[in-house]
């Protein structure tokens, strides 16, 4: 693509996310693409936080550079709760969804400046692919430093801008996020399958083949699946992650 059209705009979209308002998402993404095509900058969608969230990365927006587009002052990676609470009401901090738009030319120029070794490996892999050299491609790929585009380029780039998008975005990365995406909240439950709730609220109950009955409990997650039964208090995603990682580590011993 760089040889055919160096000014082509690429859009990076993680595959495991969801949005509720497709029209708003398309509007914001189209504006980001137009801005990326017009100037030398990386564009990212900024999602207004709906709650204090310590598991997401944030970006801080500064001055407006064009209608609907603001400069990114800095990125903040998974802040402590006190900062996340402040960001949720600041109006200048957004969740970083990892959705980017940029021209190929600007990407290569910034990689040449910030991570030339990664760019060299990428070019070597591409040359091997064109030559039909699968072994050379594999060797170049394996030799490339393992680093995300966020750390290698975005957080150090000369210009990063953001387009605000209240599109009902969710990374679906926690049961709290699943509850919110499906319309639940404190005081409002989400039930799926043969699930019954009495005397409680704010619960997420995903029943499988068996009936699940939850009595007198609020803000609880119950997920019944063929692989096992999960019962956890809402907001305990960090404990769940640590528990799973511990089980996996013990299984490898």
For the entire predicted model, the pTM comes to 0.76
Low-confidence ranges of the chain (pLDDT < 70): 1-3, 252-253
Please tell us whether the domain made up of 9-115+153-164 is placed in CATH 3.10.20.30.
Answer: no
Asked if residue 220 lies in contact with residue 203, where contact means CB atoms within 8 angstroms, the answer is: yes
Return the beta strands (E) in the chain as ranges: 9-12, 42-47, 58-66, 69-76, 93-103, 160-164, 190-192, 195-198, 204-206, 212-215, 220-225, 228-233
How does pLDDT run across 95-113, given as a tens digit for each residue?
A: 999 999 999 999 999 999 9
Q: How far apart are CA 43 and CA 154, in angstroms?
A: 10
Chain centroid to Cα 99, Å, comes to: 7
Asked if residue 195 lies in contact with residue 212, where contact means CB atoms within 8 angstroms, the answer is: yes
For residue 124, the surrounding DSSP H or E stretch is helix 116-130
224 three-state secondary structure: strand
pLDDT at 1: 53
How does pLDDT run across 193-202, given as a tens digit for each residue?
A: 999 999 999 9
Residues of the chain with CATH 3.90.550.10: 9-115+153-164
Give, as one character, the DSSP assignment of residue 145. Answer: -
Asked if residue 165 lies in contact with residue 17, where contact means CB atoms within 8 angstroms, the answer is: no
Q: How far apart are CA 160 and CA 157, in angstroms?
A: 7
């Amino acid at each position: 693509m760089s040889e055919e059209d160096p000014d082509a705009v690429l859009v990076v979209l993680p595959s495991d996310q969801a949005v509720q308002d497709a029209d708003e998402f398309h509007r914001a993404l189209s504006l980001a693409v137009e801005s990326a095509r017009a100037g030398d900058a990386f564009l990212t969608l900024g999602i207004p936080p709906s709650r204090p969230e310590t598991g997401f990365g944030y970006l801080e927006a500064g001055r407006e550079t064009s209608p609907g587009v603001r400069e990114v002052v800095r990125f903040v990676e998974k802040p402590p709760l006190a900062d996340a609470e402040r960001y949720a009401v600041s109006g200048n901090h957004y969740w970083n969804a990892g959705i980017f738009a940029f021209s190929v030319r600007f990407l290569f120029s910034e990689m040449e400046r910030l991570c030339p070794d990664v760019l060299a490996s990428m070019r070597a892999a591409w040359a091997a692919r064109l030559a039909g050299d699968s072994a050379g491609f594999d060797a170049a790929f394996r030799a490339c430093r393992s680093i995300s585009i966020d750390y290698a380029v975005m957080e150090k780039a000369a210009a990063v801008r953001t387009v605000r998008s209240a599109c009902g975005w969710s990374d679906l990365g926690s049961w709290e996020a699943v509850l919110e995406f499906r319309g639940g909240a404190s005081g409002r439950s989400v039930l799926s399958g043969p699930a019954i709730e009495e005397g409680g609220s704010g619960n997420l109950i995903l029943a499988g083949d068996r009936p699940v009955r939850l009595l007198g409990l609020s803000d609880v997650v119950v997920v019944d699946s063929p692989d096992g039964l999960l019962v956890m208090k809402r907001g305990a995603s960090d404990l769940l992650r640590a528990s799973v990682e511990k089980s996996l580590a013990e299984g490898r011993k």
